[in-house]
Amino acid sequence: MVYLTRLLYRRSSEHIRDAFKKRFGGFQDTLRIYVKGGAGGMGLPSLGGQGGDGGDVVLVTSSKMTLRKLQMTEPTKRFTASNGVNSRERRLAGIRGVDRIVSVPSGVTVVSDDGQVIADLDQPGKQVVVAKGGKGGCAATEWNGQKGERKSVKLDLKLIADIGLVGFPNAGKSTLLGGLSRTKPKIADYPFTTVKPQIGIIHYDDNRQISMADLPGLVEGAHLNIGMGHMFLKHVERTKLLLFIIDVHGFQLSPKYLHRTAFETLSLLNRELELYKPELISKPAILAINKLDTEESQEKLQPLLEKLQQCGDYSDLPQDIAPSMPIKFKEILQISAKESTGLEPLKTRIRELLDKEADEERENDRQELLQSKAKEKI
C-alpha cells in the first residue's frame, strides 16, 4: 500500500511539474552566468613602465533587481570587465581597466561549478569580486599583462523573509498571508494555486514590520523534488521562523490519492523538512490549525489537539510517514484564515518569538565575543 502511494506520487510528479511550468512564468530563482575579469595591460620594458591591472567583475546586491531582469538585460549572460591599458611613454603607469558592476537580487548565493559557495549575498548592499582582473605587465611577468579570472557561476536565489509559511496545498497559506498583510495573493479551492513565492509584510501599530513568505504547497516526496519540491523548500532556509499551517480536515490531492488527516499532513510536512535539511527542524516553529469556521471542524479538532499534546509522538503512524525528529512547536493556535479569527493572537506571538530569537542571537554573539577576548588575554 505504502509502495503504491509512493508510486502514484512519483507518477504524478511529472504531471504536477508540467502544470507548474505552464503557469510558473515570472519567477526565476537560479541563473548561470559567465564572468571574466579584464586582462592586465602590457608593461614598457625600456622605461620600466607597468601596465594597468584589468578590471574586476563585481556582484552587488540591489533590492530592485531580479534574476529574470538580469537575464533580460544581458541575454548572453556574459559579464566582462575591461582590460588594463598598456604602459606608454606618455603614461608609464597604465590605467586600470574599468570594473564591471553587476546588480543581483538580495538573497543570492554565488556557487562555483564545483559546488563551492563563493559568497552569500544575503543583505542589501553586499558585494563580492567574482572574477579578478589580471595584473598589469611588469618586470616579474616579463612585461606581459596577466589574463583575468574567468569562470561560470550559478546565482542561486533564496528569499529573505522573517517567516516562511509551510503547508500542504489548499491549507490556507495564501488566505492567511492576505489576512495578515496588505498583499492580495491568489486564493482558490484547487491545489497549487500559488506557483511562485510571494512576500507580504505584516504591519504592527508601532510601525514594526515583519515579512512573511507564502510558498507553493508541499506534497509527499517534496525532498525528492516531487511537486516543485526543494525548488521551494530552499526558500525557507533563510527564514527565522516557520509557520506551519494545516487544514483541520486534512488533505487529498485528488480521489485517486489517499486522504491524509490533519495529523498526518503535519507529520508529512515535518518529515519532508527533515529529509530535505535536518537543520530546518531546529528553527522556531508555530503551528496554526486552520478552517475552524467550517462544519465538523470542532469534532476533528479535539482528537487532533489530544494527539498534539503528546508532544510530537507520531508512533501511531506508519513508519514511512512519521518523522524521526519531531518539531517542538513554540505555540499551537487555532484560526480561521478566511474569517480572520485568531489572527491577532497569531500576529502577537509571531512578534514575541522573533524578538526572543533576536535577543538570544545577540546574547550568543556577546558571549562569543567575550570568550574570544578572554582567549586573546591568555
Ligand X SMILES: Nc1nc2c(ncn2[C@@H]2O[C@H](COP(=O)(O)OP(=O)(O)OP(=O)(O)O)[C@@H](O)[C@H]2O)c(=O)[nH]1
**Does 86 participate in binding Mg ion (rule CB under 5 A)?**
no
**How many angstroms separate the CA atoms of 320 and 224, rounded?**
14
**How many angstroms separate the CA atoms of 244 and 240, rounded?**
13
CB 210 within 8 A of CB 203: no
CB of 351 to Mg ion, least distance (A): 23
**Does 194 participate in binding Mg ion (rule CB under 5 A)?**
yes
CB of 194 to Mg ion, least distance (A): 3
- The stretch near ligand X (CB under 6 A) out of 5-13, 229-237, 331-339, 367-375 is 331-339
Nearer to ligand X, 37 or 167 (CB): 167
- The stretch near Mg ion (CB under 5 A) out of 14-22, 156-164, 185-193, 342-350 is 185-193
Other beta carbons less than 10 A from residue 113's beta carbon? 10
Residue 189 binds which entry of Mg ion, ligand X, none, CB below 5-8 Å type-dependent = ligand X
Which member of 99, 122, 237, 293 binds ligand X (CB under 6 A)?
Answer: 293
Nearer to Mg ion, 35 or 245 (CB): 245
Three cell numbers, residue 358: 533576536
Q: Burial-class residue 62 by CB neighbours within 10 Å (0-12, 13-18, 19+).
A: middle
**Does 174 participate in binding Mg ion (rule CB under 5 A)?**
yes
Which member of 13, 109, 175, 198 binds ligand X (CB under 6 A)?
Answer: 175
- The stretch near Mg ion (CB under 5 A) out of 123-131, 165-173, 197-205, 293-301 is 165-173
- Nearest alpha-carbon partner for 49 in 97, 2, 93, 108: 93
Nearer to Mg ion, 156 or 214 (CB): 214
CB 277 within 8 A of CB 320: no
CB of 30 to ligand X, least distance (A): 22
**How many angstroms separate the CA atoms of 26 and 293, rounded?**
34
Grid cell 574599468 in the structure block, residue: 98
**Does 175 participate in binding Mg ion (rule CB under 5 A)?**
no
CB of 191 to ligand X, least distance (A): 5
Which member of 336, 342, 343, 353 binds ligand X (CB under 6 A)?
Answer: 336
- The partner residues of 6 in beta bridges, in order of sequence, read none
Q: What are phi and psi of 334, to 5 degrees?
A: -105, 125
- Nearest alpha-carbon partner for 130 in 182, 55, 198: 55
**Does 191 participate in binding ligand X (rule CB under 6 A)?**
yes
- The stretch near ligand X (CB under 6 A) out of 25-33, 187-195, 269-277, 344-352 is 187-195
**How many angstroms separate the CA atoms of 132 and 136, rounded?**
12
CB 110 within 8 A of CB 118: yes
Nearer to ligand X, 143 or 251 (CB): 251
**How many angstroms separate the CA atoms of 55 and 37, rounded?**
6
Which member of 193, 198, 267, 297 binds Mg ion (CB under 5 A)?
Answer: 193
Residue 145 binds which entry of ligand X, Mg ion, none, CB below 5-8 Å type-dependent = none
- The stretch near Mg ion (CB under 5 A) out of 59-67, 109-117, 173-181, 197-205 is 173-181
Number of residues that bind ligand X (CB under 6 A): 24
CB 57 within 8 A of CB 80: yes
CB of 192 to Mg ion, least distance (A): 8
Give the 3-state DSSP-derived string for 201-251, with helices as H, strands as E and coil as C: EEECCCCCEEEEEECCCCCCCHHHCCCCCHHHHHHHCCCCEEEEEEECCCE
- The stretch near ligand X (CB under 6 A) out of 86-94, 136-144, 164-172, 304-312 is 164-172
- The stretch near Mg ion (CB under 5 A) out of 22-30, 168-176, 202-210, 263-271 is 168-176
Three cell numbers, residue 151: 569562470
**Does 337 participate in binding ligand X (rule CB under 6 A)?**
yes
CB 268 within 8 A of CB 169: no
DSSP line for 140-206: GGTTPPPPPPEEEEEEEE----SEEEE--TTSSHHHHHHHHBS------SSS----S-EEEEEE-TT
**Does 301 participate in binding ligand X (rule CB under 6 A)?**
no
Positions that interact with Mg ion (CB under 5 A): 173-174, 193-194
Positions that interact with ligand X (CB under 6 A): 167, 169-175, 187-189, 191-194, 216-217, 290-291, 293-294, 336-338
